């Protein structure tokens, strides 16, 4: 969530009726912040958003803590999801209420699990939960060079709503 490279603001209109949530997912809890920080640090390493969650496990845990403590707007934990595999978190999607609506503040998948559809499944779950909560759209900011993320979002129906970041 740093200033940094050029980002686009994307938005998707949420579908209704929504689909059932993947039973493997659970909602994140504030005490997940350190593990989510480790995961995010590994996920962002080497991507165009490297450094977004800091450069050390402690900084990354603090950044995840800021999502939970409301720095980016009230956290919408009922519409946020994490996925564990063998007792370790391997993917997460964190949503807050920012200005005019829900914001996908963070989405990440462990490097050893990318390309298996986890990111897409998580965003689908977020969209379904937000729809059930009565929200009508979901916003996010994505770096222009982040091809993997842009491709995922475009496939799920997100469109650019303004040239610059949220």
Which span sits near ligand COA by CB under 6 A: 11-19, 27-35, 75-83, 118-126?
118-126
Give the residue among 65, 121, 117 at the shortest CA–CA distance from 96.
Answer: 65
Pick between residue 7 and residue 14 the one whose CB is nearest to ligand COA.
Answer: 7
Position 139 contacts ligand COA (CB under 6 A): no
Q: Which is nearer to ligand COA, 18 or 120 (CB)?
A: 120
Helical (H) or strand (E) element with 10: strand 7-13
By beta-carbon proximity to ligand COA, the closer residue of 134 and 154 is 154
Q: ∠ at Cα 69 (68, 70), nearest 5°?
A: 95
Task: Pick the binder of ligand COA from 16, 85, 88, 151 (CB under 6 A).
Answer: 151
Strand, coil or helix: 57: helix
Phi and psi (nearest 5°) for 80?
A: -110, 150
Using CB under 6 A as the binding rule, whether residue 64 contacts ligand COA is answered as: no
> Binding string, 72-111, against ligand COA, x = CB under 6 A?
-----------------------------------xxx--
**Residue 115 makes contact with ligand COA by CB under 6 A:** yes
104 beta partners:
95
Which stretches within the chain are classed as H helix? 33-44, 57-69, 118-132, 147-155
Backbone φ and ψ of 25, nearest 5°: -85, 150
Our finding on whether 114 is near ligand COA (CB under 6 A) is yes
- Which positions touch ligand COA (CB under 6 A)? 43-44, 47, 49, 107-109, 114-120, 140, 142, 146-149, 151-152, 155
């Amino acid at each position: 969530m740093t200033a940094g490279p050029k980002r686009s603001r994307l938005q998707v209109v949420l579908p209704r009726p929504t689909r059932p949530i993947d039973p493997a997912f659970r909602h994140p809890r504030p005490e997940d912040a350190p593990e989510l920080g480790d995961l995010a640090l590994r996920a962002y390493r080497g991507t165009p958003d490297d450094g977004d969650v800091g450069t050390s496990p402690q900084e990354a845990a603090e950044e995840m803590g800021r999502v939970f403590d409301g720095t980016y707007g009230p956290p919408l934990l009922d519409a946020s999801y994490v996925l564990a595999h063998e007792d370790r978190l391997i993917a997460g999607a964190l949503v807050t209420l920012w200005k005019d609506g829900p914001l996908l503040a963070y989405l990440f998948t462990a490097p050893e699990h990318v390309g298996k559809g986890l990111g897409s499944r998580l965003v689908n779950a977020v969209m379904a939960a937000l729809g059930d909560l009565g929200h009508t759209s979901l916003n996010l900011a994505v770096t222009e060079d982040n091809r993997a993320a842009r491709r995922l979002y475009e496939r799920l129906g997100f469109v650019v709503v303004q040239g610059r970041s949220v």
